Chains A and B, each alone.
Chain A
């Protein structure tokens, strides 16, 4: 046995994970508590897995949007300097496709997932979960997908069927 392998065995013994390790792994991963894991887990799945508690509607969402988003994405999600967030419905098969949250995105959960990660652009992480639900509701409302007073929360968001959902195919399918 090489010295390296001997060293690795010592390491594994010291942590005592008891895990079955590949021959070439020193096994240095540290186990985490559920709380530590939750802190770094931002993933939200299309079925709603990962959505936090909280709720909001487009009425409150409008104020939050106008304060935090309008400067870059324009009034009601159009006419800003950055991505267009509303409109374009029915344009995808035409000569000038306009991809927006409303015309293109297949899953409503992606809106919450992305906003919580990345927006507002200059201060990501600054909005509460309630605020993000409300802005999500607002973007769905300005795209004529939900009513202005519809409450968006962990249960209702995954049930929202985006208008373009059925126009996607997968270039890769796992066995």
Chain B
């Protein structure tokens, strides 16, 4: 095994990220010691395995990896959230079954043959599209993140909430989203001069409704039909949803039913009462769509217990609603010093980017954190900077730096640093 250069590059044992580029790091010691060849079979090698199946499910040994903190408002069952278990995942794509959900009145059981997408309002020709028709349009596909604007809202609590990374930050996920560019459909309908917004309605029982600027829609919005190669899951908008790259999840209306082209926003409940940002002077900001630059260390994170002192991989995700992640820095001394993390090969625009750092834990107390910078130059702010000037309880669009404390006995907890 190649000798690792374990000279720290930042305080408290952070090692050079190039360790991940060197061959042999993962290679273990020589395998088995000498014994007679061809005698050993584990139990599962002594008879044919399970039959063929027409549907894949995770290993029974991974049954504990589920959506977290599934909750609904009092008296309801489908008006709430379920979160992506970030601490159990690696890579950048979120398995569809673990993609977080946020619904306002449950998941509608839509008959795809009866569902229509209607485009109307300030258009020359109001049009209706069946799913079958939409599936015949050229599909545009991108791997991108989707984040609820309420993600990480628990971090505004005065004392750090002792919950796992996924419970605290799991309203984010990344998928390959495939669909029809909405601009193609709007061009077909013929947008009239003076139009500036669309109002998108869902076919759920709450008829979720959001106004979205026409400029964004014409730029990169799609009517998504596919998620990770298969048709959307019901909880993510089957048979079709609006997808607005980099913008808050709530505006990416699921179960998309109507699009009304208008010259002004409708001021719906979910863009005024909710999903608006109140400051300490009582002034609220509407239409704060893009999600800020952000990163979180997912491993180790709250609830992990470290093994013996020695070298560890610190890994996490970074993303920005404005573009690509340019850089992620990691600190092991509570922000006193920082070292660049290695980014996995796929650094895509408005997508989760996986970062990794090597850290030699000396067995003592430490505070680890990560800080992302995007290609527009936006740097992830501190918690204090995010909360500066906000009203008490204003939790949307929280993108502060997350700190995890490692205790002398190796327990990892959520701290403010």
Residue of A nearest to B132 (CB): A28
Which listed residue (B120, B137, B266, B283) contacts A168, Cβ 8 A? Answer: B283
- Beyond contacts A28-B129, A42-B209, A104-B273: 9 other A-B pairs, Cβ-Cβ < 8 A, are A29-B188, A31-B126, A37-B120, A43-B260, A45-B262, A93-B281, A99-B273, A172-B287, A174-B215
Does A27 sit at the interface, judged by CB under 8 A? yes
CB proximity to A under 8 Å, residues B112-147: 116, 118-120, 124-130, 133-134, 136-138
CB proximity to B under 8 Å, residues A18-57: 19-22, 24-32, 36-37, 40-46
Interface string of B163-192 (1 = CB under 8 A from A): 000000000000000000000110111100
* A28-B137, A81-B75, A169-B285 known; A117 vs B207 contact (CB < 8 Å): yes
Which listed residue (A37, A92, A113) contacts B268, Cβ 8 A? Answer: A113
Q: Are B392 and A97 in contact (CB under 8 A)?
A: yes
User: How far does the alpha carbon of A97 sit from the alpha carbon of B273 in the complex, in Å?
Assistant: 13
Q: Are A104 and B105 in contact (CB under 8 A)?
A: no
Shortest Cβ gap from B158 to chain A (Å):
12
Q: Are B272 and A110 in contact (CB under 8 A)?
A: yes
* A19-B190, A40-B258 known; A82 vs B73 contact (CB < 8 Å): yes
CB proximity to B under 8 Å, residues A101-125: 101, 104-107, 109-110, 113-114, 117-118, 121, 124
Shortest Cβ gap from B191 to chain A (Å):
12
Shortest Cβ gap from A136 to chain B (Å):
13
Q: Are B268 and A114 in contact (CB under 8 A)?
A: yes
Interface size for B (C-beta < 8 A) is 67
Does A17 sit at the interface, judged by CB under 8 A? yes
Q: Are B206 and A171 in contact (CB under 8 A)?
A: no
User: A-B contact count, CB below 8 Å?
Assistant: 177
Residues of B near A170 (CB, < 8 A) are: 285-287
User: How far does the alpha carbon of A9 sit from the alpha carbon of B136 in the complex, in Å?
Assistant: 13
Q: Are A40 and B257 in contact (CB under 8 A)?
A: yes
Residue of B nearest to A172 (CB): B287
Shortest Cβ gap from A120 to chain B (Å):
11
Residue in A19, A29, A46 with the greatest tally of chain B CB atoms within 10 Å: A29
Residues of B near A82 (CB, < 8 A) are: 73-75
User: How far does the alpha carbon of A174 sit from the alpha carbon of B195 in the complex, in Å?
Assistant: 10
Q: Are A43 and B125 in contact (CB under 8 A)?
A: no
Shortest Cβ gap from B216 to chain A (Å):
9
Q: Residues of B at under 8 Å CB distance from A?
A: 73-76, 79, 104-105, 116, 118-120, 124-130, 133-134, 136-138, 184-185, 187-190, 196-197, 199, 201, 205-207, 209, 213-215, 257-258, 260, 262, 264, 266-269, 272-273, 276-278, 280-289, 391-393
Which listed residue (B125, B189, B205, B287) contacts A171, Cβ 8 A? Answer: B287
* A25-B187, A41-B120, A172-B213 known; A31 vs B273 contact (CB < 8 Å): no
Residues of B near A24 (CB, < 8 A) are: 138, 184
Which listed residue (A28, A105, A118, A171) contacts B207, Cβ 8 A? Answer: A118
Q: Are A118 and B105 in contact (CB under 8 A)?
A: yes
A and B contact pairs by CB, cutoff 8 A, 26 listed: A20-B190, A22-B184, A25-B187, A28-B133, A28-B137, A29-B125, A31-B125, A31-B128, A32-B118, A43-B199, A43-B201, A43-B262, A82-B75, A95-B392, A97-B392, A105-B273, A110-B267, A110-B273, A113-B269, A114-B269, A117-B206, A121-B76, A167-B284, A168-B285, A169-B285, A174-B215
